[in-house]
Structure formats: structure tokens, C-alpha cells
Amino acid sequence: MPNIYLENEISKQLLIFICYKWIILLTIQILILKFLNINNMKKIFLLMFIMTITVASSFAQEDPFIWLEEIDSEKSLEWVEKQNDVSLKILKRQPNYQAIYDKNLEILNSDERIADPAIYGSYIYNFWQDKENPRGVWRRAELKKYLKGNPDWETLLDIDKLSKEDDIKWVYKGATGLFPDYKKFLVNLSKGGGDAVIVKEFDAESKTFVDDGFYLPEEKSGISWIDENTVMVSTDFGDGMTTSGYPKQVKVWKRGTDLKDAKLVFEGKEEDMGIWGITHPTHTKNYQMIMQKTSFYSGAYYVIEKDELIELDLPEDIQLSAIFKDLIIFELKSDWNTGGKEYKQGAVVSIVYDDLISGKNNFELIVQPDERSSITSLSTTKDALLVNMLNNVKSELFKYTWKKGWKKEKIDAPQFGNITLGSADEDSDNYFFYFTNFLEPSTLYFGDAKKGTVEKVKSLPSFFPTDKYEVQQFEAVSKDGTKIPYFVVNNKNIKYDGNNPTLLYAYGGFEVPQLPRYSALTGTSWLEKGGVYVLANIRGGGEFGPKWHQAGLKENRQLVYDDFHAVAESLMEKKITSSKKLGIYGGSNGGLLVGVAYTQRPDLYNAVVCAVPLFDMKRYNKLLAGASWMAEYGNPDIPEEWEYISQYSPYQNIKPGKNYPEVFFTTSTRDDRVHPGHARKAVAKMESLGYKVYYFENTEGGHAGASTNEQRARMNALIFSYLQMKLMN
């Protein structure tokens, strides 16, 4: 896939670079010769040889594609347009592209989808996108009617209409209601889908934005209600943000005053990851807290009590998870000895708020996972703490009630799948949760925590014949002997001849577990076409708690990639597939994963979908939010840490003369979390060395890569057309 534009740009930069280096070196040579009075021609040739090596070495350290980090420069966008054009012409010509796109769009726009509920008082609020509303509508319906299946939806905010009026491609990013009557909301809107948002106050009764109401300009801000006329704000107040691009100050802002006059309550450091204010209103008290994140996994908590800032005496890696009945709930990321008790890594503990701020350490143990279990999420109702647990990558749901101690009860939820906690009402005992697995479409359940009842609200229809398929769970043995579980979804009539087109997906980072879930898009676009789908639970994730995650941090990162290679080899040993039939897919940190996979072991993979990836690990901490992830990967500016990062960083490890697969890179111009320069530079370097690649950069969509159902359907069709082309045709 030759790119004349790219070749000309590289040639021009190389010429400037070489001339610049030789002028400097020639000057140095003349001075040396004059100083030493050298006339010996052999010594002159020796000096010239040394200079040539120096130039070559300097060139090897330069990045000729760094100009692609200029996100919106005319030159970069011209390059993007040319790359998109070349790849789209090939991928859209694939036999199944249009059929995949049409089916995906039908599924995404289907009225049979579950309208995800958010409980605010007596109403259910929901954001909905379909064919008539591609950018979506924010709407509400009465809870009683929603549960009966006949909601009378009332549109509050039409994002398509707003986008047309403002001539901006708005993307809805959520809203926060004012407790307890929820008549006012703080609505977050993004330009094109990035993490940076504007915040506008919205009146749910008049269905309009409040004139002269609370408003924050576009930034990666945080804002929460203290009361109707007061908010706690974390944003750029004019003094800049942290090196990670997040707020470093928290202020209290009164209605009717300028933002610049808001009262400063906490200021962190520029090198902190970020500083955020948190409020938690109840009928008796509004808890006000400050979270200072010094890194992604460490920091400190403060409370504001009677206008006094109090630092809490807690481990730096502890995680605040909930506030329940004047109890503060924490999750432990490491072992902790306090108050004469030992609490193990992964435990959930509680303490009375007044005891916490007075420095007492009389914590109570709520739950302690074992080696093969972990906490997925916590939620609270009026009378119950809901705990969603994983047991060997299968979900179980429990409720804990407090009365001078914790009482545990298992909730009668479906088994052998993935439970996801939904919205819960802290003013009643109502809550929602979802259940799904690879072959069961997502089902929404409504629970009453006090009564202990659970009832089905709605199930998604199955968009492909799931009875034809089976799910198996296996274990691969990694290089260091660790057993790595993985799921395989395949046709019941599979032949174990190594000839099955197989797609392997994993993530392996940030303590994020990868769990079984039904995907109509994968089912119709891959399984029904004869493919096998594999989900790997490699280290770095949260499947078995903090220990499983921490095993792959920083200098141990290679273990994550060894796990992934081990799963690939296990699939081949079982003759499920072969290297010619194996494709891999990952996004964000998972994009880094598959980037490492194909540069380290190109012999294992024949197709690679590298989506919104981290790729240049030498510069990742200088791009957008990259500095916030140094607790995960390490700091490449520290030589000792770059030593181990450099061993796997895909960008630096692309070499000439390798048998790399034809990778498909995707990203978004408006991704303000992982810089699009990672994917751009990867493509440019691959092509400069003569490798064939595919590339698509969506002009909006943020880190999700798409903002509308049409964009999601197109992206999915491109990905599966590529996979079918490489592994099936």
C-alpha cells in the first residue's frame, strides 16, 4: 500500500536532518584537527568513520514521524485522509462488508434493546439512540410504568436538535441530579466524544438550560452538588492542570458569583495525577470529600468538616467505594494492619464516619475474597450494601446489612454468567442489575433489597441462534508456570483440525476484569460466519483481585504478554486453530497488548486489530492523559524503567525484515485520552519499512472510537470485514 505523500515527507525530513548533523560534525572535525595538528590521513578517515557512526546512531534515536502527533495540523489531517481512503476502498469492497454493516445497524437501532434505567426519585432517566435520533435523546418515564413495560417517555433534551442549533457535534456524557427532588441537573456535553466536556445546569421541569446557571467551559472537569446554590468544582481555574491533564484545584462555587471568585478548598501539585471533589448528599448530611490522586493507584483522602480540611489516616492505595448509613466503605489493594487487626489484600472494610475523622481505627471487615475470587463492584440502597463478586470468573451477588455488625445474604440471581450492577436508589431499596453470558442475551432485573425479591424486567432478543454454540473454559500455562483461564465460544460441531478461524480478545491492565457477555454484533458478524471467539483472563486484569493485577505492573509487564502468547499456543495445541487462522483484537491498553503480541511473536498471529492503542511507550507519558498511567507501566524518562519498557514498546520494536501480519489500526481524531499519534506513527513506521497495513481514523467518537450507531456499525463492519478477509477467505 504505497504512500507517496508519506515517502516525500520522510525524505524531506531526512535531508534536513542529515545536513544539520553533518554541518555540526564537520565543524567539530575541523576544530579537532586544528587543535591536534593532525595531518595523518588515516586518523582523518578514522574520525570520519566515527562521525558516520555518530550520525547513524543519532538518526536511530530520532522520530521522523513525530509530526503526526500534531492532531489537527493540515499536514497530519491530509495524511489521515489519504490513509483512510486507501484502506476504506479495500475493506468496503469485501464481500460481506455491506451485509455486516446493515445487520449491525439494525441491531444497534433495534427497539428491542433495553432502555438502561437510572433511578432519580420516582422517575427512570434514560439516554437513547436510534435511527431517528442518531445523536440521541435524554428522556424520563415514571418508574411504575417502566416496570410494567409501558413507559410513557418524556423527552428532556434532544441532542440532535441541540447539535443543529449550535452547529456542534454534541455527544451526551451523562448528568448529575440535585438530591432529593432532582428537579435540576448538571449535564455534561462533549464536542465529538472526547473526555473533555462542557457542563450546563438544566431544569428538568421546564426542559431548558438554566439562564445564568452553573456553567463550566470545555475541560476535563469534575462538579457535584452541595446544595441548590452551591457546587464543588474541580477544573482549570486559570492556573493550568496537572501533567496528566486533570484538575489540581478544588473550589466551592456559589450561584451568582464568577467562577474565578470561587473559594479554594484544596490545591494539589502539578505532578499529581489529579484532584477531585466528591459530595454525597443524604437527608441528614452532605458528605464533602477531596480525593488527591498522586498516581493512578495511590493518593490521599480529605474531608471538609465545619469548613476545616481533615486528612484521613489511610493507606495510600486504599479505595473509597461507598458511603452507607454513616459508614465509609473502603476496598484494600494491599494487606493492612491497623487497630490490632490484619486485613488482607482485596478485603472490603467499613468504619463510622465520626470515628474515621477523629483518627480511630476500629474498622469492621465486610468481605474477604480468596485466591480465586474478587470484588467486581459495590452499590448501596437505603438498607443494603450490594456486593458483586467473581468466583473463578463467574458472578455472584450478595447483600450485606448493618446492625452492630454485618450480616451477609446471597441474592437469588442467575448463575454461571456475568452480573453487572445497575442503578440503585439510596432513598429506597430499589435497584437494578443485568445478567448475561456468551450465549444468553442481557436481561435486566429489578430488585427490592429489603424484601429480598428479584424480578425480570426485560430480556434482549437473541439475534443469532445460540443453541448451535457451546462455551468451554480452559487454562493455559504461562511461561512462569501460572495458570491462565480463558473461554472459548464455538459451534458444537467444531472439528479440532487447527483450521478454525479464531478471534482472541484480551485486555490485561488496570485491574479491569474481562467477563463473559453476549454480543449480538460478534455473534452475527463472526460466530455465524464460522468463527471461534476466545476471551482470555490474563494477568493485569481484575479477575482475581488486586494481586492478579499487580503481578503485571511495571517491570513485570512482560508476564502479561507471556500470558497472552500462552493462550494463543494453547489454542493451537488443542487444534482449535493455527497461526494462519488466528486473529487478535484489543483496544486502548488492549491495543498495546496486541501491538506487543505481533511484534514479539509474529509467528503466532495472522490478523491484528489494534484499536485506539498505546504504542509509542517512549513518549506515552507526554501525550494527553499518558502521565497518569506511569503507575501501571513505569516512567520512560527514568533510564532504569525505560530499560524494561523498551523491551516491549511496539513502536521501538518494529524491525525490518520480519514476517508481520497485515495489521488494522483504528483510532479517533477526537480521542483526548489516548493520543491518536500512537496509531498514526505506528502505521507510518510500518509503511516506511515496507509492511502492508490498514488504517481508519474516525473524525469523532473520543476514546470509544464512535459517537453514533451509524459510526459504530461502520467501525464494526470494517473490523469484521478485515478479519474475514484475513482468516476466512
Active-site positions?
588, 703
Phi, psi of 270 (to 5 degrees): -60, -30
Amino acid letter, residue 160:
D
Quick one: cell of 563? 500470558
CA distance 620 to 629: 9
Euclidean distance between the first and the last CA atom of the chain, given in angstroms as a whole number: 20
Counting every residue written for the chain, the total comes to: 729
CA distance 263 to 247: 15
Helical axes 709-727 vs 74-91, angle rounded to 10°? 60
Cis peptide before 180 (omega within 30 of 0): yes
DSSP state of 479: T
Amino acid letter, residue 156:
L
Exposure on the CB side of residue 330, measured as CA atoms within 13 A: 29
Q: What is the DSSP string of 147-178?
A: HHT----EEEEEHHHHHHHHTS-EEEEEEEE-
CA distance 592 to 509: 10
Decide: 289 and 304 in contact? Cβ < 8 Å. yes
Decide: 46 and 727 in contact? Cβ < 8 Å. no
**Residue 556 three-state SS:** helix
Phi, psi of 541 (to 5 degrees): -85, -170
CA distance 312 to 356: 7
CA distance 677 to 97: 27
